[in-house]
Structure 1
Amino acid sequence: MNFIICVILGFGIAMAGSITPSFLNLTVVKFSLRNGKKAAFYLIGGYATVLFFQANIGAYLSSILMENSEYITLLQKIGTGLLFLLSINFFRLHFSSKEKKVKEEIPKSKAYLHGIIMSSLNTIAIPFYFTTISLLIGLSYFEYSYLNGFYFSVGSTIGSFTLYSLYAIVAEKIEHKLTYIATKMDFILGCLTGFVGLGNLIYLLSQ
């Protein structure tokens, strides 16, 4: 398969998967407002590092998990528990910190590590890539190989980094309009992760 096609497919799917509100892009907004655009870019770098491997794993497992759905269920159970823990932590941050947050510098390594941890907790990514790549394979738009999987992952990494960077840039430019949202960001993140976790739990219980 053509290198450019694989990269474009990865880029487009990553953009589509990252554009909707989630705890990842809202965390980018929070970092940009509280710690500056540079820290947000290092956070996004952490995201991109993990997303590269998640996309690669999703592509590799697309032909295996079709016949072994119990592994997907296991991933969903682990992910659901992590999402609830993450939600509790965001609510804790919201209710324990009532003072106005001011922008402050944060070490680059800390922002990058935070990005890696946050992206690793996003266990929805692998099932997302698995599902979309399986659909592409079924429609004969994608033929899996180690090289094609690598190219796809490169494209998805670039796509995710680009979109998250736009969130960081926009957040800084309209900071005065997002003051209220920024003060509620931890609460919003807690609601989002809790909602996704609850959705996963309901789905698992219905199986």
Structure 2
Amino acid sequence: MNFFTCLLLGFVIAASGSIVPSFLNITVVKFSLKSGRKSALYLIGGFATVLFFQANIGAYLSSVLMKNSEYITNIQKIGTGILFLISIYFFRLHFISRKQKIKVKIKKSKAYLHGIGMSLLNTFAIPFYFTSISFLIVLGYFEYSFLNGFYFSVGSTIGSFTLYALYATVASRIEHKLTFIATKMDFILGCLTGAVAIGNLIYLL
């Protein structure tokens, strides 16, 4: 396949997935409001580092597991359990930090490592890429190979970084309008992850 085709497919799919509200882009907004756009960009760099490998894994799995749906179900079960734990974690943060109103500056190195940790906990990424690439394969728009998977991952990394950077930029420019939302961000994150976890549980049952 053409290098630019794989790059473009990766960019479009990742950008489409990143624009949908999730705990990653809401965390970007939260970081931008609390610590500034530069720290948020380091956080996004952590996201992008892990996303590159997640896209690679998703591309590989799409070429291997399309006829083995039982493995996908097992992945969904594990992901649902992790989502419940993440939801509890964010609710705990919300109730602990309710009285903290001071803007805290977070070191860039810590923001980057935090981004890696958050992205590793993102159970949506690999199933999302697996499903998207499988759909492209069925339609004949994508043919898996090591190089194609690599090019696709580069495009998806650029796409995700671009969208998350836009979130960080918008958050910094309209900070006064998002102050109230920022104080409720952990609660929103807990609700989002909890809702998705419950939805996955209902689907699995």
Structure 2-normalised TM-score?
A: 0.97
The alignment of Structure 1 onto Structure 2 pairs a total of residues equal to: 205
RMSD over aligned CA atoms reads: 0.9
Measured against aligned partners, the alpha-carbon deviations of 1:102-131 in whole angstroms (never above 9, x if no partner) come to 322212221111111111111111111111
Which residue in the other structure is 1:69 paired with? 69
Seen in structure 2, the aligned counterparts of structure 1 residues 100 and 176 have a Cα distance that, compared at 3 Å, is farther
> Does residue 37 of structure 1 match 2:75?
no
Whether the 8 Å CA contact 1:36–1:104 is kept in 2: the answer is: no
Equivalent residue letter for 1:202: I
In the aligned structure 1, how far is the partner of 2:4 from the partner of 2:102?
43
Moved more, 117-126 or 7-16: 117-126
> Structure 1: which 5+ residue stretches go unaligned?
none
Measured against aligned partners, the alpha-carbon deviations of 1:65-118 in whole angstroms (never above 9, x if no partner) come to 112222211211111111111101111111122224332221222111111111
> Does residue 2 of structure 1 match 2:2?
yes
How many percent of aligned residue pairs carry the same amino acid? 78
Which residue in the other structure is 1:176 paired with? 176
Q: How does 1:4-23 map to 2 (within 5 A)?
A: 4-23=4-23
Which residue in the other structure is 2:50 paired with? 50
Which stretches of structure 1, 4 residues or longer, exceed 3 Å deviation after superposition?
none
Which residue in the other structure is 1:59 paired with? 59
Q: SS at the partner of 1:144?
A: coil
Equivalent residue letter for 1:72: I
Moved more, 57-66 or 162-171: 57-66
Measured against aligned partners, the alpha-carbon deviations of 1:143-167 in whole angstroms (never above 9, x if no partner) come to 1110000000000000000000000
Which residue in the other structure is 1:200 paired with? 200
Structure 1-normalised TM-score?
A: 0.96
Whether the 8 Å CA contact 1:37–1:172 is kept in 2: the answer is: yes
In the aligned structure 1, how far is the partner of 2:64 from the partner of 2:183?
44
Moved more, 104-113 or 146-155: 104-113
